[in-house]
Amino acid sequence: MAKKSLLLIIVLIVWFAGYFIVGNHSKIPEGTPVQKAKYALDEAGCIMCHSKDAKMPFYGNIPIVGSVVKADIKKGLRAFDMTNVVKAMDQNLPANETALAKIEYAIESGTMPPFRFKIFHWSSNMSAQEKSAVADWIKIERQKLNANSGVAPKFANEPVWPIPSELNVDEKKVELGSILYHHKALSGDGTVSCATCHPLDKAGADAMQTSTGIRDQKGDVNAPTVYNAVFNAKQFWDGRADDLQSQAGGPPMNPVEMDGGSWTAVAKRLEQDAEFSKEFKKVYPDGFTEANITDAIAAFESTLITPDSNFDLYLKGDEEALTPQQKDGYAVFKKARCYVCHSGQNLGGQTFEYMGLNSNYFEDRGDVGKINDKGRASFTGDERDMHKFKTPTLRNVALTAPYFHDGSATTLKQAVEVMAKYQRGIELDDYEIDSLVKFLESLTGKLKGKKLEVKE
């Protein structure tokens, strides 16, 4: 009985402390839209549970109460790590669309903060003024992000928008990069090129669970498509590359993929192609260096974009671009909250998400062979990043089976069912699943004016 009384006293102390320290909302201070939004998110406790940089509250070290707080933070980081969002807000930099979509949904739906958090933070619910401040900031940020997309006014505040028809590139670099992309001299024995694992006639992916590299070695993750990769915030499933140029430097030095030995060795092999070497030095006078090779490949890969999908045309105002069932599928896409991760112009590629947020995916999946399931933690070494993977783009997804980092889903329907169960914890009926698949098929775009297709 004494223990229960003590626990009740502790809870009451923390409860009132939460009211006066965290939840005692006052009028939002004057400032810019981003400053007001940051204040509102901080006051509501969002940053406490969703940022790795947030400081543990003083009561986080109190027995019993502290364990609850720490569990909430762990769960919060799994669902949404807004560490980079907070940094962007502090530096007045753009927030990515996935972050905007997640914050927007949480506020509009009232799902955040959860009841257990409210117990310790009496007034953690956002006031109407605070909600309005965050909504205004999201709208402003979104308008900046999709300003040049051509999206129709009625869809201007949607969490997704069209990709551009073209990007500014150096055509001479692109031409050289195309040759390098297909050049097997990047590999140690001249048998593997970038196109081996990312064939352009197969939607930029090789349709295998994991790719086969030099000396018939198998990789440990599914090869993602190279198409539209330029729109990803990071490259690779674990995000270890910041951009296309950094990514292009990875496989040639990977002992399983290309095993090029060294960039000096790669240069010597490329120099044996006298004509190509001559043309390369016209653009890069110092020849085949790592920086020059990867710069050219990145320039070429930045042209591998597929605009003007039927969904893009719909977002630009063509109501007939989608079939009635595809429109239903887009409604399911939003109802099932797929958009909170697959958002922005690339419908993904902006954040790292925990695989199996609502059910234990890895336990149910079982053994699927030599697969690296660590995700982002492989690069960061942070246990909090375990099983978090870069959200893949959904563009051309109907052509890029198998799916997920482990290549375990062989059909688009199966992938939809897995996502509904393990990520969203919902059950979709047959029509909803079929409609969602049809909608995803509308995301197949065009390459240089011709609809992308897989050639057998």
Catalytic center residues: 257
Radius of gyration of the chain (CA): 24
Parallel/antiparallel/unpaired status of strands 352-354 and 446-447: unpaired
Contact (CB, 8 A) for 23 and 126: no
Contact, 130 vs 378, CB < 8 A?
Answer: no
Largest CA distance in the chain: 88
**Residue closest to 16 by CA, chosen among 113, 114, 119:** 119
- SS3 state of residue 152: coil
- Residues sharing a CB contact under 8 Å with residue 434, sequence separation 6 or more, in sequence order: 325, 413
Per the listing, tokens 């909302």 go with 25
In eight-state DSSP terms, residue 437 is H
Q: 197-232 burial by CB neighbour count: b if 16+ within 10 A, else e?
A: bbbbebbbbbbebbbbbbeeeebbbbbbbbbbbbbb
The span from the CA of 378 to the CA of 385, in Å, is 8
Task: Indicate the DSSP class of residue 446.
Answer: E
Collect all residues with Cβ–Cβ distance below 8 Å to 389 and sequence separation of at least 6.
Answer: 237, 238, 352, 353, 355, 375, 376, 405
Nearest C-alpha neighbor of 97 from the set 336, 343, 330: 343
Q: Which candidate, 120, 106, 115, 116, places its Cα nearest to that of 59?
A: 120
Residue type, 300: F
Separation between Cα atoms, residue 341 and residue 344, nearest integer Å: 9
> Given its phi and psi angles, is residue 69 left (phi above 0), alpha (psi -120 to 50 degrees) or beta?
alpha
